[in-house]
């Protein structure tokens, strides 16, 4: 049918469903769990990069809370989830190294998927009048600022002059300034301003990703370069100009210059202080804290600037004269490997291609090794036991022992085996959480050992979270599977 854009045809959407990371997230089996975690960690907190250990700890607690609330069993460790979400097959997190530490950041497709889920929430108040005025004001601005007719411009300025003069005369006559917006209009415009501000913040992830893609293309061209250094420098400068002079680059640079002006920062703070005094805005501020959005803009834009700076730093390595002259043979070998890697990127196999334990050899120098130390004999003290009277000391510790009811544990397992032929220990604990800590967990393992040796799967590890004395603990062991007795 004529008039349908290419990006809404059946073939395009079918390909999008198979390859786009945002669509993969929405159709994932654990989409609700993943989207809720991404929203809490990155979007709600307006955070860009989170240190790997911190994100791992948060995911660990989030997994535990999700299992307690929903009773759903998650069969992977938190570290496995982070690695899966950041691989090329999923593309929901970006893993990068910064100052010798690893960080995770949300990718633009993942943010779009989560924000689409947020948009499904039914809004109590939907403003339309302010949006209509915004459309007309933008169209009038385009028409006015592109009109080169002197008479039209003069008529517009005279009309504005008459309007201002009439308003000044009214103020001098009455001494009163009448507000032009009622409470509904104030609320509507403030919420529209917040939506636009949040959209700007969300767009930075996509802008940064586009710049990173341009950077990768420049690096691929430089890796394959075989001609002179002067021509290479000319190409690099031209490619850098393409990045900065593209429509997206010019828009971002204009945004950055406008945002970093001190008078703009002061104007924003003064405006927020002024409108915060209005009653409708004061009621909205606890749930819509717009006052700190300018700092979030600066941080997000700074991350984009850092990406552009990394381009210059990485390209400098390729044109450094000492780098090109020293170890020429090694350089040529590396260049051939990089060239083949670039050529094979489009034909990369799906799934795990290979695994490497270490990315660099571990070297231990002879003087770093410990000297030989003869083993020391362990001396065992065997005092003679003497019968006591029992009059001294406390005996309560002997009687205050933890007693685990094996029959109750067996009943918990049989309850789930009545519904299915086999069940894992994690699934049992999701329905019947541990109340006595480690002794109760060992009781389940003893039950499994009495059934069959095949109950323990050493190829898979289980991560079991439980609470003891107010502390959250984790036990890691072989996967335990209870099977129904076929007799």
- CATH code for the domain of 46: 1.10.10
Do 272 and 308 fall into the same domain?
yes
Among 283, 291, 207, CA closest to 251? 207
Do 229 and 162 fall into the same domain?
no
Residue of higher predicted confidence among 104 and 248: 104
Q: pTM of the predicted model, to two decimals?
A: 0.48
Do 215 and 323 fall into the same domain?
yes
Do 115 and 146 fall into the same domain?
no
Do 190 and 308 fall into the same domain?
yes
Residue 398 in 3-state DSSP? helix
Do 106 and 165 fall into the same domain?
no
Q: Which of 300, 325, 345 is the last residue of a domain?
A: 345
Q: Alpha-carbon Rg of the chain, whole angstroms?
A: 33
Do 335 and 296 fall into the same domain?
yes
- Positions of E strands within 3-112: 49-51, 93-98, 101-106
Do 165 and 294 fall into the same domain?
no
Give residue for tokens 């009059």: 391
**Cβ neighbour number for residue 342 with a 10 Å cutoff:** 15
Q: Is residue 19 part of a domain?
A: yes
pLDDT in tens, 67-122: 877 667 677 888 889 999 988 888 899 888 877 788 898 888 888 888 888 888 76
Do 216 and 290 fall into the same domain?
yes
Tell me the CA distances in angstroms from 203 to 109, 198, 241, 355, 374, one per residue in order: 11, 9, 22, 35, 65
Q: Is residue 44 part of a domain?
A: yes
Phi-psi region at 474: left, alpha or beta (left = phi > 0; alpha = psi -120 to 50): beta
Q: Which of 25-39, 275-289, 449-463 has the highest mean pLDDT?
A: 25-39
Do 47 and 106 fall into the same domain?
yes
For 150, the enclosing helix (H) or strand (E) is: helix 150-174
Do 414 and 453 fall into the same domain?
yes
pLDDT in tens, 147-189: 788 888 888 888 888 888 888 888 888 887 777 777 777 777 7
Identify the bridge partners of residue 95 per DSSP, sorted by sequence position.
Answer: 104
Among 479, 475, 420, 431, CA closest to 455? 479
Q: Is residue 391 part of a domain?
A: no
Q: Give how many domains the chain has, as a whole number.
A: 4
Q: Is residue 126 part of a domain?
A: no
Tell me the CA distances in angstroms from 307 to 263, 299, 313, one per residue in order: 27, 13, 10
Structural domain boundaries enclosing 315: 179-345
Q: Is residue 443 part of a domain?
A: yes
Sign of the Cα torsion 145, 146, 151, 155 reads: negative
Among 316, 294, 170, CA closest to 236? 316
Q: Is residue 361 part of a domain?
A: no
Do 335 and 262 fall into the same domain?
yes
Alpha helices in 246-326 (DSSP H): 247-260, 262-275, 279-284, 293-319, 321-325
Q: Which of 345, 364, 384 is the last residue of a domain?
A: 345
């Amino acid at each position: 049918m004529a008039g349908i854009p290419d990006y809404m045809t059946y073939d395009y959407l079918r390909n999008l469903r198979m390859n786009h990371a945002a669509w993969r997230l929405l159709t994932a089996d654990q989409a609700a769990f993943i989207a809720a975690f991404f929203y809490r960690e990155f979007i709600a907190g307006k955070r860009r990069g989170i240190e790997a250990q911190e994100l791992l700890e948060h995911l660990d607690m989030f997994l535990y809370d999700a299992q307690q609330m929903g009773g759903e069993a998650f069969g992977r460790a938190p570290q496995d989830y982070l690695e899966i979400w950041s691989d090329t097959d999923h593309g929901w997190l970006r893993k990068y190294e910064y100052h010798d530490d690893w960080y995770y950041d949300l990718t633009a497709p993942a943010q779009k998927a989560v924000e689409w889920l947020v948009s499904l929430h039914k809004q109590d108040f939907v403003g339309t009048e302010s949006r209509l005025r915004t459309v007309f004001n933008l169209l009038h601005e385009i028409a006015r600022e592109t009109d080169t007719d002197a008479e039209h411009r003069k008529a517009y300025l005279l009309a504005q002059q008459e309007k201002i003069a009439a308003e000044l005369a009214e103020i001098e006559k009455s001494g009163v300034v009448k507000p032009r917006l009622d409470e509904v209009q104030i609320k509507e415009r403030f919420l529209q301003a917040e939506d636009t501000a949040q959209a700007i913040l969300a767009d930075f992830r996509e802008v940064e990703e586009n710049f990173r893609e341009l950077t990768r293309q420049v690096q691929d061209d430089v890796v394959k370069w075989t001609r002179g250094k002067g021509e290479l420098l000319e190409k690099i400068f031209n490619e850098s100009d393409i990045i900065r002079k593209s429509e997206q680059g010019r828009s971002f640079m204009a945004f950055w210059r406008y945002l970093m002006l001190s008078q703009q920062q002061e104007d924003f703070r003064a405006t927020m202080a002024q409108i915060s005094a209005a009653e409708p805005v004061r009621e909205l501020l606890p749930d819509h804290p717009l006052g700190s959005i300018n700092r979030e803009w600066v941080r997000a834009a700074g991350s984009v600037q850092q990406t552009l700076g990394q381009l210059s730093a990485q390209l400098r390595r390729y044109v450094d004269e000492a780098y090109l002259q020293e170890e020429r043979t090694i350089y040529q070998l590396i260049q051939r490997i990089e060239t083949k890697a670039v050529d094979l990127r489009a034909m990369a196999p799906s799934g795990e291609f290979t695994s490497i334990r270490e990315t660099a050899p571990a070297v231990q120098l002879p003087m770093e090794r410990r000297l030989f130390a003869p083993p020391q004999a362990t001396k065992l003290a065997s005092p003679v036991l003497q019968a006591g009277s029992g009059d001294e000391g406390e005996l309560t510790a002997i009687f205050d022992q933890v007693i685990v009811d094996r029959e109750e544990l067996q009943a918990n397992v049989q309850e789930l085996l009545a519904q299915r032929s086999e069940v894992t220990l994690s699934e049992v604990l999701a329905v019947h959480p541990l109340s006595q800590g480690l002794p109760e967990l060992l009781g389940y393992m003893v039950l499994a050992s009495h059934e069959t040796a095949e109950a323990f799967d050493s190829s898979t590890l289980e991560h079991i979270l439980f609470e003891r004395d107010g502390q959250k603990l984790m036990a890691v062991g072989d996967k335990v599977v209870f099977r129904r007795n076929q007799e």
